[in-house]
Amino acid sequence: MISKDTATDVKIRRAVQMMDICSAEHYCKDNKLKRVLNNISLNVLVGESVGIAAKKDDEAKLLLEILANVRPYYSGKSILAEKGMMQKKRVILPHLFYIDTPNMLFDNMTVLEFLMFATVHSGISTVKRQRMYLDSLIEYGLEYIALTQIALLSDEEKLIIELIVASLSNSELVVFNVLAYEFSDRQVTTISKICKVIKGNGSIVIGTNEAKLIGVCCDKVAYVLGGTIEYFGSVDSLCKSWDKVLYRITDNHPTEVASKLQEIYSEYSYTVAGNSILVYNFSKNRISDTEFVSKLFENGISPDNIKINKGRVANSFEELDKEHDL
């Protein structure tokens, strides 16, 4: 417990504070000009990883560029690392590390050579740094590219190397704008490990519509719909509130199984997707997992597999879109 005397000394530090931001950019709808982003408010605390996703990539991209001070905004207030930003000044600030392209590296160097080059002024001896970075690459599962020439890497691998460089910098905030890229499961695991290092020194904002990247790497997520943030909160709360899929049932005869399920328990909805039946609950009523499975067996339904859904970001985004008719 924090005593009354010390409670006043506790200060919540914000890496990002955006208040009622409106973009300078417009689009035309029904012969009227509307701002692409309107009244955006967003807080990112020090030590957090926050994902920014959107139904339309352009909206998320614009928000990330405004957040990073790459693009000016029309009105509102934006503060990075508790330092105010001039409304129309477009400069990458010294306490910010911004990544939005895989072309920030030197193609003629190997991965290890570039890490050494990027940290030449760190004050740590060459031998010690070389050992440190080799150990880090092994820890991240990237030992197979440690001595590979950067020109031979994929764009996603280059972006990950840039993220490692960001983790080695003194930046208080890292913005990883990777909306145009797709990462493998292995690469997502690697990014998650690097994010933990970054959060030890500051914060990271990840711009992506890849649900798995948000689910694994982010503490919170902001989802932009129609130019405003329709959801901002923890990833866990997003899934609990918006993912209506309860079970994924696999069977060789999914259509027949779905029809039987509809007959025995009509309170839920059933959708066939390939060999799977997705079981949804759109009502406020829910029976226990044990009771639902018992109903199946009692009525002669023995599917090949039943998987309890623990909450998925992708499903949650789909439900948010449906809620707003998008």
pLDDT digits over 164-174, tens only? 999 999 899 99
Tell me the range of 7-21, 97-111, 275-289 where mean pLDDT is highest: 97-111
**Is residue 5 over pLDDT 50?**
no
Rounded mean pLDDT of the chain? 89
Please give the share of the chain, as a percent, with pLDDT higher than 90.
61
- The pairing of beta strand 26-29 with beta strand 32-35: antiparallel
The model carries a pTM of: 0.83
| CATH 3.30.70 segments of the chain | 244-310
Model confidence pLDDT, tens digit, residues 12-65: 688 999 999 999 998 888 788 889 999 999 999 999 999 999 999 999 999 999
Determine the Cα–Cα distance for residues 233 and 65; give it in Å rounded to an integer. 21
Determine the Cα–Cα distance for residues 237 and 223; give it in Å rounded to an integer. 13
Residue 216 near residue 185 (C-beta atoms within 8 A)? no
Q: Which CATH superfamily is domain 11-240 in?
A: P-loop containing nucleotide triphosphate hydrolases (3.40.50.300)
CATH for the stretch 244-310: 3.30.70
pLDDT of res. 83:
65
Residues 6+ apart with CB under 8 A from 181: 102, 155, 156, 159, 208
- Distances from the Cα of 302 to the Cα of 227, 249, 287, angstroms: 46, 10, 19
Determine the Cα–Cα distance for residues 321 and 179; give it in Å rounded to an integer. 18
